[in-house]
Chain A
Amino acid sequence: MSNGNLLDTCQRALDLVRRHGADRAEVFGETTRTITSAVEKDDLQISKSRQETRVGLRAFVGTQVGFASTNDLSKVEDAAVDAVTLAKASPGDPHNVLPDPNPVVPIDGLYDPGADTFGTADAVNQAIRMLETAKLVDRRVIVGESEFTAGIRNCVLINSAGAEASERSTLFTYSVLTTARDKDQVSNMAFKFGATRSVDSIDVERIARRSSEDSLGSLGARKGQSFNGQVLLDPYAVLNLLALLPFQLNGRNALRGMTRWKDALGETVAVPAFTLVDDGRIPGGVGTASFDREGVPHRRTALIEGGILRSFMHNAYTADAFGVPNTGHAAGSAGSLPAIGPTNFAIVPGEVGKSDLISGIRRGLLVNRFSGNADPISGDFSGVAKAAYLIIDGKIDRPVAGSLIAGNVFEALKSLSGISRETETVFNYTFPFLRLEGISVTAE
């Protein structure tokens, strides 16, 4: 569906919500078209195409709010009735507000017209290229899963306060999961991810090669050593371990007392070298868009600066509740109420190289992937260090299997001793290597 037709559909929906009793309303419409080609166990799997238009209707009755969505455009009026009925049955809340209208400045480079003619055969070719590259590194590598997806998205946001924004974007994402098998030995799974906005910059070979190399590296892993000390986390492991940061920095969680940092604005939460920013306008970023789920322009927000907590991520509701400026972090699809989420979320890189971080370790562990859990409330984490290597006297000694690492994320942020200049972007997260201190390592 073109943006013009989608806008008409959204305007009709907005009228219906108001006609059925809402005094204010918002409609978000999305048309998505995706083509996916996947590899499993070294062979091409089913190729899929998908096309859907969905509209999400938010009805305000005084301070009450209801939400309904549908992908059946013959049932938009039913959804409008549902949204108003839900609003009228719900308790009111004075912070249920629409954001003030704000001019949206478009971002270049989000849409590549080349995607219009990108078909199933092109997606199949990319998937096959990923498979062949991974196998070319070493025949012992098995591509357990890999997937290539080409997507085109049109979205429109309008509300009764006069907001009207629309955007068209393309996104190509690719991921690969490999293991290596040598006689009875099976390596840990390795996982790599890549994404781009334009057809010409698709590069599946890089992630396929790196995933293969990671799998091969963990072949022959033996039991490690038990100690309390330094652990160097690969950006992928940082992603696994610090998955609780978006939760901690979510304004709604802070408002509801769900986060440890609810009263910590202006306080030290990490070492001075640690700066965390969220920027929804980075050219080509997976999380880049000119406006958020409520039509508010995206911008750059320093969340933690020099170790000090500077801001939570806000949408209209939490900004109103805290009495602070809206940071444009309303997130979600047309199928759900505007929530809060990161756009392009990044730890600012340091000045030392990964190899310098390793050479400073007398006894420690390099962890490429962390398979475990970190409690978002207490920060306690514990899990298995996957594709891990023992570091002895500043050098990588050998791969180890089955080492458990445990500690506390909040303590680790305040005591970490190294941030690398190398970074890796996985989904919408860009992280460096981090060297943590005082981590409990248990060899099984």
Chain B
Amino acid sequence: MQKLLEKVIAGATGWLELRYQARSTKRITVRNGSLEESSSALVAGLGVRALVDGVLGFASTTDVSERGIRAAIDAAQAAARTSAQAKKQRIKGLASAPMAKGRFAVNTDDPLDAHSLEEKLALVLGLDERIRSGAKEIVSSTASYGEIQDEKVIVTTDGASAHIFDSKPELRTIAVASRNGDQTMGLESSGITGGWSDLLEIATLEELADKAVQVAVDQLSAPHPSGGTSVVVLDPSLVGILCHEAIGHTVEADIVLGGAITADKIGRVVGSELVTLCDSGATEHAPFAVGILPVDDEGVLTRRTVIIEHGVLRSFLHNRETAAHYGVAPTGNARAYVYSDDPIIRMRNTYIEPGETSVDELIGGVRNGYYLRELGMSGQADSNAEFMFGVREAHRIVDGKIGEFVRGATISGNAFDVLKSIDAVGDDFAWENGAGACGKGQFAKVDAGGPHVRCTLTIGGRQA
């Protein structure tokens, strides 16, 4: 495929980007001991971007013969030409970048295909069984395994020619508990970039199942938090969610140009000086981050991007178009989910750098507050950095000690106010390693994380 794409592009006119992707996926889901799904899919095709008169056009096709590829190029160029008649802002050019050449593959010695379907099925059945037998209150259990394996070839007229292999397995669990008509849910998942044994290393089946059961059962008859402003300690997962959802999206250069709150804040203080916040294509500080991306979908080699350095906003996240607009180097954040998606600005692995305070000290320093762990059912944030997240697990902290479990907690506020309120950053580090995907018109497998941090924000409770 690489040879064919190189051949076609060699004779083409104008700037072109050809991206072939073959994605193989498997999913096995078991609920209450019954199989819900065992499926596989193979989706392959070519996505083409063309630049004509300073305007981009995109077309995709499943016909990857030489003739089909040429037809897709024609369609992309025609789309660009048509749009050029109405578009106000022309692309000044695409910023030059270190373009990827050669072969890039996930580093694992235990590929997913080396494990049989029967083995994967047995694992999911065992996980489901462990949830169901975890507590007498459990009335429903769900366990699932999913895997995505990608082969990509990216060839551009300005130097990229990369052959990329990726592997992302994941496990999800749901436990539903019930007592006296009250029903609660516990979710726990793990996901990585890597191989089979790596997935089981990041969290054992027992850990996943037992945590889901515990969260579901603990919520039964737990009180709701009292609403208001509170000092809280966030776990690495919630720190990651805050970095990704509430800060990260507001520094994606396309969102910035759309009028995000960060638009005029480069070089300005936007957070506590304890905060250094980054987005990286590599798996910094801990292995197996879900969003590992050596080469982005414009064929650019990725790097670690420092977004906020000691509280000062330093960089947005760019593709080649926005980098040219701002006169900076691309950061390798252009991503497409499947062949039929065009590359847009997405995060990879977003995190806060670890600090110097131990987790015990973080919690010990709170007289009256909450310890909050993991994202609940959903999270939402606006481009003005206003956010609202459900919290999966919340405990009161009283006189420096973790106490009572409270249910249904939500946190909200402005993410930059929260960053400014951070008065201590933990010396630990963990990725979320979740099974979800970020949605922005198309999906992206991302990760987020950091150390524990202590800050102040609004807890949603109930008015009497």
Contacts and interface: CB of A to CB of B under 8 A. Distances in A.
Interface stretch (B27-35, B278-286, B288-296): B27-35
B35 A41 contact: no
Contacts of A91: 34-35, 125
Given A48-B79, A93-B35, A372-B388, A382 B41 contact: no
Interface string A69-97: 11111010011001101110111010000
A42 B121 CA distance: 50
A120 B388 contact: no
A78 B412 CA distance: 49
A228 B461 CA distance: 12
Contacts of A252: 36
A335 B41 contact: yes
Contact of B259 (A41, A93, A384): A41
Interface string B303-347: 000000000000000000000000000000000000010100000
B296 to A, nearest CB: 17
Size class of the B contact interface (CB-based, 8 Å): 35 or more
A341 B125 CA distance: 26
A37 B39 contact: no
B43 A71 contact: yes
A124 interface: yes
Interface stretch (A150-158, A280-288, A373-381): A373-381
B4 to A, nearest CB: 15
A51 B41 CA distance: 18
A89 B120 CA distance: 10
Interface stretch (B148-156, B362-370, B379-387, B423-431): B379-387
Contact of A47 (B45, B83, B258): B83
B328 to A, nearest CB: 19
A257 interface: yes
Contact of B460 (A53, A75, A337, A406): A406
Given A41-B257, A91-B34, A406-B461, A373 B40 contact: no
B40 A82 contact: yes
A147 to B, nearest CB: 8
A43 interface: yes
Given A375-B377, A404-B227, A404-B412, A72 B460 contact: no
B133 interface: no
B377 A384 contact: no
Contacts of A79: 40, 42
A128 B464 CA distance: 49
A189 interface: yes
A86 B58 contact: no
A256 B182 contact: no
Interface string B398-416: 0000000001101011000
A72 to B, nearest CB: 5
B462 A337 contact: no
Interface residues of A, number: 80
Interface stretch (B86-94, B105-113, B161-169, B349-357): B86-94
B78 interface: yes
Contacts of B88: 42-44
A378 B42 contact: no
B261 interface: yes
Contacts of B35: 65, 90-91, 93
A186 B412 contact: no
A427 interface: no
A289 interface: no
A342 interface: no
Contacts, number: 225
Nearest to A243: B378
Interface in A27-72: 37, 40-44, 46-54, 65-72
B60 A66 contact: no
A382 B85 CA distance: 46
B62 interface: yes
A226 B58 contact: no
B91 to A, nearest CB: 10
Given A142-B258, A186-B261, A406 B42 contact: no
A82 B62 CA distance: 21
B176 A85 contact: no
Contacts of B448: none
A85 B38 CA distance: 10
A257 B178 CA distance: 10
B66 interface: no
B388 A383 contact: yes
Given A43-B88, A372-B388, A384-B412, A67 B38 contact: yes
Contacts of A258: 140, 176
B182 A378 contact: yes
Given A66-B38, A70-B41, A181-B259, A120 B78 contact: yes
Nearest to A145: B258
Contact of A189 (B49, B342, B382, B413): B382
A19 B60 CA distance: 33
Contact of A52 (B39, B176, B340): B340
B195 interface: no
B62 A375 contact: no
Contact of B378 (A186, A189, A373): A373
A186 B259 contact: yes
Contacts of B140: 256-258
Contacts of A82: 40
A181 B39 CA distance: 48
Interface in B49-82: 49, 56-62, 75, 78-80, 82
A188 interface: yes
A406 B411 CA distance: 12
A444 interface: yes
Interface in B185-237: 185, 219, 227
Given A40-B257, A43-B88, 11 more contacts: A43-B87, A44-B86, A52-B62, A69-B40, A75-B42, A82-B40, A145-B258, A181-B259, A228-B464, A257-B32, A382-B460
21 contacts: A41-B259, A42-B88, A47-B82, A48-B342, A52-B45, A53-B62, A54-B43, A78-B42, A83-B40, A120-B82, A144-B383, A335-B41, A335-B43, A372-B380, A374-B377, A375-B184, A378-B184, A378-B219, A378-B408, A406-B410, A440-B463
Interface of A: 37, 40-44, 46-54, 65-73, 75, 78-79, 82-83, 85-87, 89-91, 93, 119-121, 124-125, 128, 142, 144-145, 179, 181, 186, 188-189, 226-228, 252, 256-258, 260, 335-337, 371-378, 380, 382-384, 402, 404, 406, 440-442, 444
Interface of B: 31-32, 34-45, 49, 56-62, 75, 78-80, 82-83, 85-89, 117-118, 121, 125, 139-140, 142, 176, 182-185, 219, 227, 254, 257-259, 261, 340, 342, 376-380, 382-384, 386, 388, 390, 407-408, 410, 412-413, 458, 460-464
The 6 closest A-B pairs by CB, nearest first: A41-B258, A373-B378, A67-B39, A440-B463, A47-B79, A257-B140
